[in-house]
Amino acid sequence: MNRLHNDDLKSSLRDMGDTVTQIIHFVGGEKRTFYGIKTDTIRQGQFTKLYQKDGTMIMINDKNVLCIEIFKED
């Protein structure tokens, strides 16, 4: 079976809507902005996996993240 559809952690981001924009602040001062993150597909593990509307998967190593800003998309 496809893990993407099996391990739904009921992320609190789902309350913000179907898609969000995230600005991720990394150790060392780097910031990255990701648009169109599908809130129902966020999966956590050694790397957090985020999927965008266009199908792109983003893998984030949590130990390098200081904070995440999240904005609801229309």
pLDDT, tens digit, 9 for 90 and up, residues 19-71:
999 999 999 999 999 999 999 888 888 899 999 999 999 999 999 999 999 99
* pLDDT for res 28: 94
* pLDDT for res 26: 96
Question: What whole-number distance in Å separates Cα of residue 62 and Cα of residue 54?
Answer: 23
- Number of domains composing the chain: 1
> Could you tell me the residue range of the domain that residue 33 belongs to?
3-72
pLDDT confidence bin for 10, thresholds 50/70/90: low
CATH number at residue 43: 2.30.30.100
Single out the residue of 33, 34, 40 nearest to residue 56, CA to CA: 34
Answer whether 0.85 is exceeded by the pTM. Answer: no
* pLDDT for res 1: 46
Question: What whole-number distance in Å separates Cα of residue 34 and Cα of residue 20?
Answer: 9
DSSP lists the bridge partners of residue 54 as none
Question: What whole-number distance in Å separates Cα of residue 43 and Cα of residue 27?
Answer: 21
